[in-house]
Amino acid sequence: MIDVGIIGSSGYTGGELIRLLVNHKYTNIEICTSRKFAGQKVSDVHKHLKGFINLEFEDISPRDLKNRCDVIFLAVPHGTSMNIVPDLLDEYTKVIDLSADYRINSQTFENLYGIEHSDKRKVVYGLPEIHPEVSEKNLVANPGCYSTGAILSASPLANSGLIDSIIFDSKSGITGAGVNPTQTSHYPNMAENVQPYKLTSHRHYAEMFQELSMMDESLININFTPHVIPSIRGILTTAHIFTNRQVSTEEVKSIYAEYYKDNPFVRIIDGIPSLSTVRGSNFCDIGFEIDVNNNRVVVVSAIDNLVKGAAGQAIQNMNLMCGFNETEGIWFSGITP
């Protein structure tokens, strides 16, 4: 049994970490931190957890937290983790950061996030299907939610050197924006609406570029446009992948099947994935269709942004880092309808 702490546990991904970890066979949730709700019961804030967790939120320093935990999750806004991680790391403590601070190199981070990086160490990108070496690390940078769906949708073709260019068109549920309400998330602006944003400049582009161009250095024509939709959870990505030669359905199917053959959380499906079939689960469903006239493969991926896009993937990383079964605590189907 290992003791686990969650920093930023009053937010959406923190709450989701608790919901999943209470069912994990080998973890004890030792500390949930919150500055705003310190002293209040966790289940008074995350009301769905009543009867599942008896802790109160604490507001304690990272150093004190380290002494009580084997694994620490950081579920805090970007720009925060870099000031906490150096105090947490030692040979006994494993840290999984859900924020953007360590996903991309520090120079790119500074350019995109407009924050000076105070801890420039190089950290493994925690997409375990692409980076199984997470199992040897004590600090892992959990990927962005859009990046997870996009990279998984294109990796097999990128790895095969078949891609000329890609357009990722993604739709996200509103929990992707965190627990604090904004003008965008205000109900009249959200309901019965689809809101494209950052048409050519979303920060997750850098993660997609970093990972896909690592597989094929000639692959530089990568494009990404996000949208928010009136859904609570989920990210559906339609990847328009233009190939450098004609490919057949059988060929693409076998490339994806082979690439993901050892990855229990990626399901290659016949047909078109949907958000409802992955809601609440750690699966990434992938389906595709070939447009023979245009050398285009339309690949669709569906994930739950709070699970495979955040908390579930963080636990998948923890499982690998701690030598547990990869699926422990996160092996269940989605909820449909």
Ligand X SMILES: NC(=O)C1=CN([C@@H]2O[C@H](COP(=O)(O)OP(=O)(O)OC[C@H]3O[C@@H](n4cnc5c(N)ncnc54)[C@H](OP(=O)(O)O)[C@@H]3O)[C@@H](O)[C@H]2O)C=CC1
**Pairwise CA distance, residues 68 & 15, whole Å:** 20
Question: Has 145 been annotated as catalytic?
Answer: yes
Nearest-approach distance from CB 266 to ligand X2W, in angstroms: 19
C-alpha angle 254-255-258 in degrees, rounded to nearest 5: 80
Give the SS3 label for residue 159: helix
Taking Cα atoms as reference points, which of 292, 297, 312 lies closest to residue 168?
297
Q: Name the E strands within 199-274.
A: 222-228, 235-243, 266-268
Which strands make up the sheet holding 94-97, listed edge to edge? 27-33, 2-7, 71-74, 94-97, 139-141, 124-125
Binding site partner of 27, from ligand X2W, ligand X, none, Cβ cut-off 5-8 A by kind: none
Report the first-to-last Cα separation within the chain, whole angstroms: 36
Quote the least distance from Cβ 139 to ligand X, whole Å.
15
- Judged by CB under 6 A, the chain residues 122 through 151 that form the site for ligand X2W are 144-145
Strand partners, 10: none
Q: How far is the CB of 4 from ligand X2W (least distance, A)?
A: 20
301 binds, among ligand X2W, ligand X, none (CB under 5 to 8 A by kind): none
Residue 172 interacting with ligand X2W (CB under 6 A) = yes
Residue type, 324: F
d(C-alpha 267, C-alpha 286), whole Å: 6
Minimal CA–CA distance to 129: which of 22, 335, 268, 3? 268
List the single partner that 127 binds among ligand X, ligand X2W, none, CB under 5 to 8 Å by kind.
none
Helices (H), 47-174: 62-68, 85-88, 106-113, 145-159
**Residue 231 binding ligand X2W, by CB under 6 A:** no
| Residue 75 Cβ vs ligand X2W, minimum distance, rounded to whole Å | 10
39 three-state secondary structure = coil
From the list ligand X, ligand X2W, none, which binds 48 (C-beta under 5 to 8 Å, kind-based)? none
Q: Which residue is nearest to ligand X (CB)?
A: 11
10 makes contact, choosing from ligand X2W, ligand X, none, with CB < 5 to 8 Å by partner type, with: ligand X
Tokens 């002293």 -> residue: 39
- Torsion from C-alpha of 323, 327, 328, 330, nearest 10 degrees: 140
Element (H, E) at 9: none
Q: Which is nearer to ligand X2W, 180 or 293 (CB)?
A: 180
For residues 268 and 199, the answer to whether their CB atoms sit within 8 Å is no
Q: How far is the CB of 171 from ligand X2W (least distance, A)?
A: 9
Judged by beta carbon, residue 7 or residue 320, the one nearer ligand X is 7
Residues 60-99 that bind ligand X2W (CB under 6 A): 78, 99
**Which one of ligand X2W, ligand X, none interacts with residue 12, CB within 5 to 8 A by kind?**
ligand X
Q: Which is nearer to ligand X2W, 185 or 327 (CB)?
A: 185
If the CB atoms of residues 49 and 252 are measured against ligand X, the closer one turns out to be: 49
Q: Which of 32, 69, 145, 284 is an active site residue?
A: 145
The residue sitting closest to ligand X2W, measured at its beta carbon, is: 176
Q: Judged by CB under 6 A, which of 55, 177, 214, 322 binds ligand X2W?
A: 177
Q: In the window 4-63, what residues touch ligand X2W (CB under 6 A)? A: none
Q: Which stretch binds ligand X2W (CB under 6 A): 129-137, 172-180, 273-281, 325-333?
A: 172-180
Footprint on this chain of ligand X2W (rule: CB under 6 A): 78, 99-100, 144-145, 172, 176-177, 204, 226, 228
Which residues are marked as active site?
Answer: 145
